[in-house]
Amino acid sequence: MARRSSKADPSGQRRHGPRDAARGILPDFQGREADIARIEKLLDHVGDGGKALLISGEAGIGKTTLLEFAQVFARQRGFRVLYMSGVIAEAHLPFAALQQAVGPILRQAEKLPQRQHAALLAAFGLGDDTTVPDTFLVALATLTLLTESAVRKPILLVADDIQWLDQPSHDVLSFISRRLSSDPIVLLMAARSDSEEAFPHWSVPRHQLSRLDAAAAERLLDAESPDLPLDLRQRFLDVAAGNPLALVELPRGERKPETGESHWVPLTDRLERAFFSRVSVLPTATRALLLIIAENDSRSIREVLDAGEVLLHEKVALETLAPAASARLIEIAAGEVRFRHPLVRSAIHQASSPVMRHNIHAALSRVIIDEPDRRIWHRMASAVGPDEALAAELDAAAARSQRRGALATAITAL
């Protein structure tokens, strides 16, 4: 079994500067030089006026990590750091996120004009006023408070997961983001890239976090899991596709090499949650088609739609897939469909029940006409017990693939 050692610095980077600071926070931190440089530049030029930046990227790509670095870099430069984060469970609580950020400087609100002060207190459930506060007044009060405070110390306002902000906090942040030009305030936000339609009117510059390149991905996996067998290491690299969360989490998943499911890489709960969350909100028929795409061994849209009709007993059209395409889970082109990230496929597979998977394979075996080997494979995957006729067909399929030299297919089928 091949083993890899790792804790050295194979990148050969000089060990000082921002990368070094990043490593101090997260020892196995890899890549991201350009992303860090962009954030440092924002902080270093805060004297030229306020700026806002929205960092976007897929689940687990490293948005929160980058925001954490930004907070450390900002404190090193003498900034006051204010922080809020959208939380699904609090998305229905008005001003919950804003209170998190403004809480530490709320005492200074006493100097605000009286109506703004009262609105802010009412927003946070403080003071005597029990009427619903005017969001515009709260936004104005927050902006005044920030700009007054920034006179003494520049401010970094961090807002993570803004796709899950409660609506009033979202509106206040949007208001502030357009009015930062003359004050030493940096507003750094992060959102999942599939949620960007939630901010159609935001004119803030965006910074897309890309997947780690192959070398950085390898360094991260080797640092986290130095003892992986080479074949497993390669599978993790393939499935992770440069996603740091996956590179950290995949080796922690339960391994079941002895089961018939061994071609699927098991995901930890954290990974499954991260990549399945967008699926769970889709319409039932769309989810059924996604399950079919996940279990199918071809990219044909025709097959997916045909199998969908068998499975759902109703007419299914390409539009049924539209919500999944809008959520950026899949890509459709030239009669083919594929997941944008292999982890979505794994998460969908893992979240489905064995009975559902059986039904999907049965549906696929009914719609695949011209490829007997594939049809038999799906029939096999849908069989619930021993079936002599199926076993004979399987022998024939294995012999056929052997004749074609496709030994691997034969072995898998047997």
Binding site for ligand ATP (CB under 6 A): 26, 28-32, 57, 59-65, 192, 220, 244-245, 248, 274
**Token pair in block for residue 273:** 């949650």
Q: Judged by CB, which is closer to ligand ATP: 170, or 192?
A: 192
- The amino acid occupying position 385 is G
| Min separation Cβ 79 and ligand ATP, Å | 21
Among 306, 367, 300, 292, CA closest to 336: 300
Q: Judged by CB, which is closer to ligand ATP: 141, or 245?
A: 245
- The site partner of 29 among Mg ion, ligand ATP, none (C-beta below 5 to 8 Å per kind) is ligand ATP
Please list the residues that pair with 159 across neighbouring strands: 84, 189
Tell me the residue nearest to Mg ion as measured from the CB. Answer: 64
Please list the residues that pair with 52 across neighbouring strands: 187
Q: What are phi and psi of 6, to 5 degrees?
A: -150, -30
| Min separation Cβ 160 and Mg ion, Å | 6
- The amino acid occupying position 55 is I
| Min separation Cβ 244 and ligand ATP, Å | 3
Q: Judged by CB, which is closer to Mg ion: 64, or 71?
A: 64
- The site partner of 244 among Mg ion, ligand ATP, none (C-beta below 5 to 8 Å per kind) is ligand ATP
Interacting positions 7-46 with Mg ion (CB under 5 A) = none
CA distance 66 to 36: 7
CA of 176: how far to CAs of 15, 18, 83, 168, 361, in Å?
A: 38, 29, 14, 12, 52
**Token pair in block for residue 360:** 């999907």
64 is a site residue for Mg ion (CB under 5 A):
yes
| Min separation Cβ 409 and ligand ATP, Å | 36
Q: Judged by CB, which is closer to Mg ion: 101, or 121?
A: 101
| Min separation Cβ 56 and ligand ATP, Å | 9
- CB atoms near residue 293 (< 10 Å): 26
195 is a site residue for Mg ion (CB under 5 A):
no
| Min separation Cβ 219 and ligand ATP, Å | 8
Q: How many residues lie near Mg ion (CB under 5 A)?
A: 2
CA distance 413 to 386: 15
The residue behind tokens 């044909």 is 300
Among 59, 13, 4, CA closest to 36: 13
How far does Cα 155 stand from its chain's mean position?
Answer: 28
Tell me the residue nearest to ligand ATP as measured from the CB. Answer: 62
How far does Cα 147 stand from its chain's mean position?
Answer: 33
- The site partner of 26 among ligand ATP, Mg ion, none (C-beta below 5 to 8 Å per kind) is ligand ATP
| Min separation Cβ 194 and ligand ATP, Å | 10
Q: Judged by CB, which is closer to ligand ATP: 192, or 374?
A: 192
Point out which residues bind Mg ion (CB under 5 A): 63-64
